[in-house]
Amino acid sequence: MPSNKSVSDAPIVQFTNCRILRDHRLQREDLWVREGKILNPEKVFFDEKGSADVQLDCKGSIIAPGFIDVQINGGFGVDFSLATDDFKSGIDLVSQKILSHGVTSFCPTLVTSPPSVYHQVLPQISVRNGGAHGAGILGAHLEGPFISKEKKGAHPEHCLRTFEAGAFQDLLNTYGSLDGVRIVTLAPEMKRSSEVIRELTKRGICVSLGHSVANLSQAEEAVQHGATFITHLFNAMLPFHHRDPGIVGLLTSDKIPAGRRVFYGMISDGIHTNPAALRIAHRAHPKGLVLVTDAIAGMGLAPGRHTLGQQVVEIDGLNTYVAGTKTLSGSVATMDTCVRHFQEATGCSVETALEAASLHPAQLLGIEHNKGTLNYDSDADFLMLNDSLYVQATYIAGQEVWRRDASGM
């Protein structure tokens, strides 16, 4: 067989003996990769008269797109909402460690903070590709401070803000810059929020509704102005009521503009949402469900006292509370744990569980042509998992960046 070197000098790797998640189902196919992209093997064979340079036996593993976490506040002792001198090394540590959870891209998330924190931290969060150094950074998720006092959750009340006469300018002054910002969570019932939602959407920033007492018509109006996401559904919002279902009602609203999909984050850690609530949401709107960890600095550490921005939080088992209260404050769940719990709680297919952590977040961010799938020409960010959905190896741009060792660690 003639070599394929006429097209590219880069080697072609063929992953064999695997089941690939493609077109919403697991298929017994090989995965072909070159120069960080997924190849169409027919083109290689017929157009280039080429063949694989390397074959890797996957021993029956599932191959799925890498997980994308659009809401993660930190982990391993690192808090993204703290302006520290070594912030960059902290974000590097988290991006390296979450490779073992199957996360290949993420949005570092800042909870409600004083303007000085945003001005110091945001210039240090730059969008970058993943690799052996760690998961890729897709941009920051700013959760607050333009949220409801009644539904502040673990956010510090003294830092909350409202939109004044120059609403969008208020937001710019608070954050300092929108460079590298991917998602902003705000409460849509706040005065002048429509103007802000329109301006953010115009700049390609995803607007998420959360920490809010909005009724359904306020939530629908926000979607009509461009909002596309709901921050941790059921948490920090009015509970579902049959006469006015609030933000939760967006899952079955008939006022969503044609061609638009509303996505919603869910913390599937067995604590933030009862399994029955997970099932209700999933059955009502399966294509919009996005798994998020909402992980805090204490993820990966022993129980005890940790931080979440300006607050001290206590970890007790898998529960995390604002110190001295029973207010939940983020989670210590890992993304692979959330995927397994979601599948177990809902009884959904393996494919559905995996897509909730890969395809759906990619669609939310409008990057599904590059990430979140194993389609031809997509980025070769993928995982090898066993049948119980435990991550065995993580690949970014076709390179192995993490592998479980023989002892299972």
Q: Report whether 235 belongs to an annotated binding site.
A: yes
CA angle centred on 270, ends 230 and 307, rounded to 5°: 75
Query: Using CA atoms, how far apart are residues 355 and 381, in angstroms rounded to an integer?
Result: 14
Name residue 57's beta-bridge partners: 16
The answer to the question of residue 6 being in a domain is no
pLDDT of residue 4: 44
Co-location of 346 and 388 in the same domain: no
Residue among 404, 388, 293 at smallest CA distance from 350: 388
Query: Rounded to an integer, what distance in angstroms lies between the CA atom of residue 73 and that of residue 142?
Result: 10
Q: What is the DSSP string of 19-62?
A: EEEETTEEEE--EEEETTEE--HHHHHHTS----SEEEE-TT-E
* pLDDT of res. 317: 86
Q: What pLDDT shows up at residue 315?
A: 93
The reply to whether 4 falls in a domain is: no
272 has binding-site annotation:
yes
Is residue 140 a known part of a binding site? no
Distances (CA, A) of 322 to 11, 145, 311: 52, 17, 7
Q: Express each pLDDT in 66-81 by its tens digit.
A: 999 999 999 999 999 9
141 is in an annotated binding site: no
So which residues are the catalytic ones? Answer: 294
- At residue 258, the pLDDT reads 95
Of how many residues is the chain composed? 409
pLDDT one-digit tens code per residue, 187-209: 999 999 999 999 999 999 999 99
Number of domains in the chain: 2
Give residue 44's domain range.
13-64+373-403
Annotated binding residue 22 = no
Tell me, what's the pLDDT at 3? 47
2 in a structural domain = no
CA nearest neighbour of 144 among 68, 48, 211: 211
pTM (predicted TM-score) = 0.97
- Are 324 and 387 contained in the same domain? no
pLDDT of residue 2: 45
- Does 316 share its domain with 189? yes
Which H or E run includes 193? helix 193-202
Low-confidence ranges of the chain (pLDDT < 70): 1-7, 407-409
Check whether 330 is labelled as a binding-site residue: yes
> Looking at residue 155, what is its pLDDT?
97
**380 and 281 in one domain?**
no
Residues 235, 129, single domain; the answer is: yes
Is residue 217 within 8 Å of 189, Cβ to Cβ?
no
Residues 221 and 83 in one domain: yes
H or E element, residue 362 = helix 359-365
Distance, CA of 138 to CA of 367 (rounded, Å): 10
Q: Is 83 annotated as a binding residue?
A: no
Answer yes or no: is 408 within a domain.
no
CATH code (residue 112): 3.20.20.140
Residue 106: CA atoms inside 13 Å, Cβ hemisphere, count? 33
Judge whether 328 is annotated as a binding position: yes
| Domain of residue 397, CATH code | 2.30.40.10
Q: What sign does the dihedral 249-251-252-254 (CA atoms) show? A: positive
Do 290 and 387 fall within a single domain? no
DSSP state for residue 271 in the 8-state scheme: S
7: in domain: no
> What per-residue confidence (pLDDT) applies to 50?
81
Say yes or no: 179 and 309 in one domain.
yes
- Whether residue 282 is annotated as binding a ligand: the answer is no
